[in-house]
Structure 1
Amino acid sequence: MSDTPPESQFPRPDELLPHRAPFLLVDEIVELQPGERCVALWHLTGDEEFFAGHFPGRPTLPGVLMVEALAQTAGLAAASATSLEGKLALFGGIDKARFRRQVTPGDTLRLEATINRLSARAGKASGTASVDGRAACEASMMFLIANAAD
């Protein structure tokens, strides 16, 4: 019997996104419909540096990082579209961001993003970040499409 986890059927986030530590906020992809939808996980260990200062004595994931994690999840859905090969989705805007609950060390943030519109130049997505089935953040996002090599 092996202790090695089974190989995921989905690519690693760093195979689709240009982000790298410490700013890659998505640990694994658990669902992917290329160009349409992505569900990913971010496992918060408590060792992340931002917890030390936000807030001492009551560590809380900053809301802006939840929104960025949702944008990265939408970026995974967009980057997996064959029509965007060699392209890069750049965060273009946030609408209707709402924060519903605190996220703390030890939580696993489930990130769900759906592409609502996608063209060769731009797109719109909506997403929800949740912990244990309870919404922590909801947002609508816009992104621009650029050449990856620029």
Structure 2
Amino acid sequence: MIETILSHRRPFLFVGEVLRVEPGVEAAACSNVPAADLAELGYPTDRVPLWYIAEFMAQTGALAVLAGRTGEKTLMTGIDSLELIAQPLPDLPLRADVQILQERRGIGKRVGTVWQGETKLATGVIWYARQ
């Protein structure tokens, strides 16, 4: 299901499992943060970078935006108030919960939280453009 909605492919596909999707409303997903993929992208494998968390949140939100649509994609156009609350540990699963706040004429924003177990790692607002 993931690859039929998102155009991303390994090593840039960060969503590993979809937990729930309500088209146009919200999505939740898991990512396994594979150290091998971070190494392939040229990043140290001893921690999870903030850009990974932001992109994982954006991809999870894209599931909610694009579910039920064909031939469309979203582009991350901005980040508001992304706050790293705790440093994630590598090779432990992450979970993102993302809700769409608004969309007008294909431009929208979504708010999300990323968790590792019961620990809240990050929260923020991601702007997107739907094409």
Q: Specify if TM > 0.5.
A: yes
Matches within 5 A, 1:18-57: 18-50=7-39, 53-54=43-44
Indicate yes or no: 2:130 matched with 1:111: no
After the TM superposition, which segments of 4 or more aligned residues of structure 1 sit over 4 Å from their partners? none
TM-score computed with the length of structure 2 as normaliser:
0.90
> What residue is the counterpart of 2:54 in the other structure?
67
Matches within 5 A, 1:1-150: 12-50=1-39, 53-54=43-44, 59-80=46-67, 82=68, 84-146=69-131
Distance apart, 1:134 and its partner CA: 1.1
Distance 1:25 1:48 in 2: 10
> Contact 1:44 / 1:104 at 8 angstroms: preserved in 2?
no
Stretches of structure 1 that go unaligned for 5 or more consecutive residues are 1-11
Distance apart, 1:47 and its partner CA: 2.8
Write the letter of the residue equivalent to 2:9: R
TM-score computed with the length of structure 1 as normaliser:
0.79
Task: Note closer, same or farther for the CA distance 1:121–1:54 as it changes in structure 2 (3 Å cut).
Answer: same
Report Cα offsets for 1:30-50 as digits up to 9, x if no partner: 111011100000013433334
Write the letter of the residue equivalent to 2:62: G
Stretches of structure 2 that go unaligned for 5 or more consecutive residues are none
Q: What percent identity do the matched residue pairs reach?
A: 25
Task: Note closer, same or farther for the CA distance 1:79–1:53 as it changes in structure 2 (3 Å cut).
Answer: closer
Q: How many residues align?
A: 130
Report Cα offsets for 1:39-65 as digits up to 9, x if no partner: 00001343333497436xxx0000011
Write the letter of the residue equivalent to 1:78: V
Distance 1:88 1:53 in 2: 27
Distance apart, 1:107 and its partner CA: 0.8
